[in-house]
Chains A and B, each alone.
Chain A
Amino acid sequence: MLQVTLWRLFDLDLHQVASDAYPAHSLPMLSVGTDSPPLSSDVPTPGMASPPDAALWLLDDPQEWSAFSRPNSRAADCWESNVVIEGMHCAACSLTIEDALTRIPGVVSAQVGAASHRAKIIWSANEVKPSVWMQAVRASGYRAVPANDAFASERRKLETRQALWRWLVAGLCMMQVMMYAYPAYVAHPGDLTAEMEQLLRWASWVLTLPVIFFSCGPFFRNALRDIVQLRVSMDLPVALGMVITFAMSTAGTFEPGGVFGHEVYFDSLTMFVFFLLTGRWLELRLRDRTAGALEALMNRLPDSVERLRTDGVYERVAVRRLLVGDAIRVQPGETIAADGVVLRGETLVDEALLTGESRPLPRAVGSQVLSGSHNLSSTVEIRVEQVGEATRFAQIVALMESASATKPQGAMLADRLAKPFLIGVLLAAAGACAWWWGRDPGHALIVAVAVLIVTCPCALSLATPAAMLAAAGAMARTGVMVRRLQALEVLASVDTLVFDKTGTLTRDAMVLGLVQVRPGCVPAEALAMAAALARHSLHPVSRTLAAAHRDAGASQVWNCEAVTEHAGQGVAGVATSIQSGGAEESRTFRLGSAIFCDVEQVATSGAVVHLSDEAGWLASFELKEDIREQAAEAVASLQQLGVAVSILSGDRSDSVARIAGLAGITQARGGCTPDDKLTYIRGLQAQGRQVAMVGDGLNDGPVLAGANVSFAFGQGAPLAHAKADFVILGEQLMSVVQAVALSRRTLRIVRQNLWWALLYNAACVPLAVAGLLPAWLAGLGMASSSLLVVLNALRLARPEKSKKEP
């Protein structure tokens, strides 16, 4: 019931809606329901009786628009909305929509992705309401649907169904028309009686009707829209071609003596319509898969969850109604809808899209789970700790959405070229028609049709964005988020990579280095004593010592009941041990800084922690930073790709040199201030180098911004604040290498695509003008050329075995 009302929301004719007359009453929550389970009973149901033209106003409720919008940092009261645009076919469309949107006062900016069919609109809540700009999109002949809505996916399902149906109608009718055309091709003169031929034409005509009036519907609708708005787009030449062929063949059927001659082209017509629809259909499917990783991630959250009511019964509620503190139940195979802690049960989760970790991870009671991860093995109960925009998942989605709506430079160029190109095509077709008209009007028209159909600006405008999106999708699967698609182009040409901090090459945890002890004491014994105290503290140093003792496999000789922790200094406590004779020995230990332990400060290269007892100094433990597992491997692979690697760090020079040595980096500089780093990068850029920077993305913003392209490790840091072009979600350094390699492949594929599109058009248009290309072949060529571009781009989504770059 609810859904039926919602359906109307976008079907109604908005021209009736006076933009300045908002109703005094505001309709309640637009709850996006799922099919079967009833929503929680406290959801007010918008009545069926509500007038249909009130529906868009629903979105003017801040609670509604916040479902697909988030506050923009640019100014107070500015919102950034993400919507899916329906009815778009090519790059020219995105320009039109952008134009229409930016013309509205209050809309700060609008960006429409030609390949992703998503738009990002920044608007000021003081001056404009969502219904106003949605109406503007509608008025320009398209339809905007809030993204991230179950509603949008429902809509998409219906669209696919309709597309499949159109395609099947065209296919079946084409086959039958082909049967009727066959006798005319093989018959010798005199074999076919005149009545029989006329009957076959009649039958062909009848079966062409559904193809023209139903299957070609979208082409005609789009073309008509273009004519009304005085612009050109992809569908205009195609629709023109269809109309001409159909009119000509109809005239040939019913008036064989007329000016168009008695030839009929029903077989060609149905065939190229079928080819075009096949192309569109496959393109639609492929685009879904190309943008698939992005789309899959964005639409990953379930619509509803099972929430535990106070009376102990589970009820289905919409995800948006979840509150912090709720307990929810997640079945195996379901996606976890909110960040939280496991309350009951034990399971495996898949966090691949969130952290790049491809292995299933065990989650027991008390451990954290992330929203957007898949519950794999068994049912768990989760206490919700963060919902909606606050979750890490929402931050990632926000990143991806803003990236997929930005346009790479190449695509912008293609957009601008599309219009003059199409006008050129129309002129060429008219010219060819005029040229052949004198000899044979029928032939002249069929030549013009071939010209109209064969050109494919689609391939041109899809070349760049399709490849970029596929690359972004492939990167997302390895745990790298692309924030700006343009950055992919830059990354491909990078020849110098600078690690901004030793922290990017090292792990957060430390390892135990050299141990110095008082004469007469064994290092292992000293470690056992230290570990006894350290076990009670959560300080990183303590954890390192406890872990080192555990890893050494030593038995727990010393036992400590309680310690007093002095913040920033150390821990102190009494430890006891059972001696071999059964006697008990108790000693008071202090573990911590030199002052805390009352020992002399000694100059060492790393962090040092001391242990003392009643008699004074007992041992010193040196702690070193631990290098990431794949650091050396990653550096070597980067060098193999022809990228020079160096480190710039604010740490002390000797520890930087140690890390550099372990990772195999020759160029290392320690003790740098942020200004030093920036100067160093500027120096490299002055030498004509393209510099990529890897940092933690938090306090090195200016340095990252100074580099041509930047990476940030998103671990721990709030993703929205990471100021980098690429955000690495996991811990793997190899992601950087993969990103560089992938970006190079992407650029190669973009070039291939552009070349193909140019060559195809350059070769086929003259052939068609010369009358050497039959209409059906033109349709096949056009459909396959844009398919080829998308297919080529799709190669990026396939993981490639670590192939060496030339």
Chain B
Amino acid sequence: MDILYLLIPLSVVLVFFILGGLWWAIHRGQFEDIEAEGERILKDS
């Protein structure tokens, strides 16, 4: 069970990594206008 002393702090760090990924996604506008990207291929210009 000693491994938990390593895994629990690791999980905290992991959460921060995931949050970093989400920050990137949101602020790059990944969640806005979800349909537009799919429709873009159908447009001429």
**Does B34 lie at the interface of the complex (its beta carbon under 8 Å from any beta carbon of A)?**
no
Check B22–A168 contact: CB distance below 8 A.
yes
Check A176–B11 contact: CB distance below 8 A.
yes
Q: Which residues of B contact A180 (CB under 8 A)?
A: 8
**Does A210 lie at the interface of the complex (its beta carbon under 8 Å from any beta carbon of B)?**
yes
B15's nearest neighbour on chain A, judged by CB, is: A176
**Does A169 lie at the interface of the complex (its beta carbon under 8 Å from any beta carbon of B)?**
yes
Check A165–B22 contact: CB distance below 8 A.
yes
**Does A164 lie at the interface of the complex (its beta carbon under 8 Å from any beta carbon of B)?**
yes
Select B11's contact among A160, A165, A196, A203, beta carbons within 8 Å. Answer: A203
Least CB distance, A365 to chain B, in whole angstroms: 24
Majority-rule SS of A interface residues: helix
Size class of A's contact patch? 20 to 34
Q: Which of A188-202 contact B (CB under 8 A)?
A: 195-196, 199-200
Check A207–B12 contact: CB distance below 8 A.
yes
B43's nearest neighbour on chain A, judged by CB, is: A333
**Does A206 lie at the interface of the complex (its beta carbon under 8 Å from any beta carbon of B)?**
yes
- Given contacts A200-B8, A203-B9, are A164 and B15 in contact (CB under 8 A)? no
**Chain B 1-37 against A: per-residue CB contact (8 Å), 1 yes, 0 no?**
0001100110110010011001100110101100000
Q: Which residues of A contact B29 (CB under 8 A)?
A: 161
Check B23–A165 contact: CB distance below 8 A.
yes
Check A161–B32 contact: CB distance below 8 A.
yes
Majority-rule SS of B interface residues: helix
In angstroms, Cα B7 to Cα A225, docked, is 42
**Does A663 lie at the interface of the complex (its beta carbon under 8 Å from any beta carbon of B)?**
no
Check B26–A164 contact: CB distance below 8 A.
yes
**Does A578 lie at the interface of the complex (its beta carbon under 8 Å from any beta carbon of B)?**
no
Least CB distance, A803 to chain B, in whole angstroms: 33
Q: Which residues of A contact B26 (CB under 8 A)?
A: 161, 164-165, 168
Q: Which of A255-298 contact B (CB under 8 A)?
A: none
Least CB distance, A616 to chain B, in whole angstroms: 68
**Chain A 152-186 against B: per-residue CB contact (8 Å), 1 yes, 0 no?**
00000100110011001100110010011000000
- Given contacts A165-B22, A172-B19, A172-B22, are A203 and B27 in contact (CB under 8 A)? no
Q: Which residues of A contact B22 (CB under 8 A)?
A: 165, 168-169, 172
Check A203–B12 contact: CB distance below 8 A.
yes
Least CB distance, A332 to chain B, in whole angstroms: 11
In angstroms, Cα B4 to Cα A180, docked, is 12
In angstroms, Cα B25 to Cα A168, docked, is 11
Q: Which residues of A contact B19 (CB under 8 A)?
A: 168-169, 172-173, 210
Check A161–B8 contact: CB distance below 8 A.
no
Least CB distance, B39 to chain A, in whole angstroms: 11
Select B32's contact among A157, A169, A173, A176, beta carbons within 8 Å. Answer: A157
Q: Which residues of A contact B5 (CB under 8 A)?
A: 195-196, 199
Least CB distance, A118 to chain B, in whole angstroms: 23
Q: Which residues of A contact B15 (CB under 8 A)?
A: 172-173, 176, 207
In angstroms, Cα B12 to Cα A453, docked, is 28
In angstroms, Cα B19 to Cα A165, docked, is 9
Q: Which residues of A contact B11 (CB under 8 A)?
A: 176, 179, 203
In angstroms, Cα B15 to Cα A333, docked, is 43
In angstroms, Cα B16 to Cα A172, docked, is 10
In angstroms, Cα B5 to Cα A206, docked, is 15
Check A165–B18 contact: CB distance below 8 A.
no
Select A172's contact among B9, B18, B27, B31, beta carbons within 8 Å. Answer: B18
In angstroms, Cα B22 to Cα A200, docked, is 25
Q: Which residues of B contact A206 (CB under 8 A)?
A: 12
A169's nearest neighbour on chain B, judged by CB, is: B19
In angstroms, Cα B22 to Cα A169, docked, is 9
In angstroms, Cα B5 to Cα A179, docked, is 15
Q: Which residues of A contact B31 (CB under 8 A)?
A: 164
Q: Which residues of B contact A169 (CB under 8 A)?
A: 19, 22
B33's nearest neighbour on chain A, judged by CB, is: A157
Q: Which residues of B contact A168 (CB under 8 A)?
A: 19, 22, 26
Least CB distance, A640 to chain B, in whole angstroms: 42
A177's nearest neighbour on chain B, judged by CB, is: B15
In angstroms, Cα B27 to Cα A452, docked, is 33
In angstroms, Cα B22 to Cα A281, docked, is 17
Least CB distance, A207 to chain B, in whole angstroms: 6
In angstroms, Cα B24 to Cα A165, docked, is 10
B28's nearest neighbour on chain A, judged by CB, is: A161
Q: Which residues of B contact A199 (CB under 8 A)?
A: 4-5, 8-9
Q: Which residues of A contact B9 (CB under 8 A)?
A: 199, 203
In angstroms, Cα B31 to Cα A804, docked, is 42
A331's nearest neighbour on chain B, judged by CB, is: B45
In angstroms, Cα B12 to Cα A174, docked, is 12
In angstroms, Cα B6 to Cα A493, docked, is 70
In angstroms, Cα B22 to Cα A175, docked, is 15
In angstroms, Cα B22 to Cα A9, docked, is 29
Least CB distance, B38 to chain A, in whole angstroms: 16
Q: Which residues of A contact B32 (CB under 8 A)?
A: 157, 160-161
In angstroms, Cα B18 to Cα A176, docked, is 12
Q: Which residues of A contact B8 (CB under 8 A)?
A: 180, 199-200, 203
Q: Which residues of A contact B23 (CB under 8 A)?
A: 165
In angstroms, Cα B32 to Cα A7, docked, is 20
In angstroms, Cα B16 to Cα A169, docked, is 10
Least CB distance, A376 to chain B, in whole angstroms: 16
In angstroms, Cα B29 to Cα A535, docked, is 61
In angstroms, Cα B32 to Cα A195, docked, is 45
Q: Which residues of B contact A161 (CB under 8 A)?
A: 26-27, 29, 32
Q: Which residues of A contact B18 (CB under 8 A)?
A: 172
Check B4–A165 contact: CB distance below 8 A.
no
Check B12–A165 contact: CB distance below 8 A.
no
Least CB distance, B20 to chain A, in whole angstroms: 11
In angstroms, Cα B12 to Cα A157, docked, is 31
Q: Which residues of A contact B12 (CB under 8 A)?
A: 176, 203, 206-207
A157's nearest neighbour on chain B, judged by CB, is: B32
In angstroms, Cα B9 to Cα A180, docked, is 11
- Given contacts A172-B18, A206-B12, A210-B19, are A196 and B4 in contact (CB under 8 A)? yes
B45's nearest neighbour on chain A, judged by CB, is: A331
Least CB distance, B31 to chain A, in whole angstroms: 6
Least CB distance, A551 to chain B, in whole angstroms: 44
Q: Which residues of B contact A203 (CB under 8 A)?
A: 8-9, 11-12
In angstroms, Cα B13 to Cα A207, docked, is 10
A158's nearest neighbour on chain B, judged by CB, is: B27
Least CB distance, B10 to chain A, in whole angstroms: 10
Q: Which residues of A contact B4 (CB under 8 A)?
A: 196, 199
B14's nearest neighbour on chain A, judged by CB, is: A176
In angstroms, Cα B9 to Cα A74, docked, is 68
In angstroms, Cα B8 to Cα A180, docked, is 9
Q: Identify which of B19, B23, B29 gathers the most chain A CB atoms within 10 Å of its CB.
A: B19
In angstroms, Cα B3 to Cα A196, docked, is 11
In angstroms, Cα B11 to Cα A180, docked, is 10
In angstroms, Cα B27 to Cα A199, docked, is 33
In angstroms, Cα B11 to Cα A242, docked, is 25
In angstroms, Cα B4 to Cα A193, docked, is 12
Given A168-B26, A172-B18; 18 other pairs, CB 8 A cutoff: A161-B26, A161-B29, A161-B32, A164-B31, A165-B27, A168-B19, A168-B22, A172-B15, A176-B12, A195-B5, A196-B4, A196-B5, A199-B9, A200-B8, A203-B11, A206-B12, A207-B12, A207-B15
Residues on A close to B: CB < 8 A? 157, 160-161, 164-165, 168-169, 172-173, 176, 179-180, 195-196, 199-200, 203, 206-207, 210
A-B contact pairs, 14 of them (CB 8 A): A160-B32, A164-B31, A165-B23, A165-B27, A168-B26, A172-B15, A172-B18, A176-B12, A180-B8, A195-B5, A196-B4, A203-B9, A206-B12, A210-B19
What 7 pairs between A and B have smallest CB-CB spacing? A165-B26, A176-B15, A203-B12, A203-B8, A168-B22, A206-B12, A199-B8
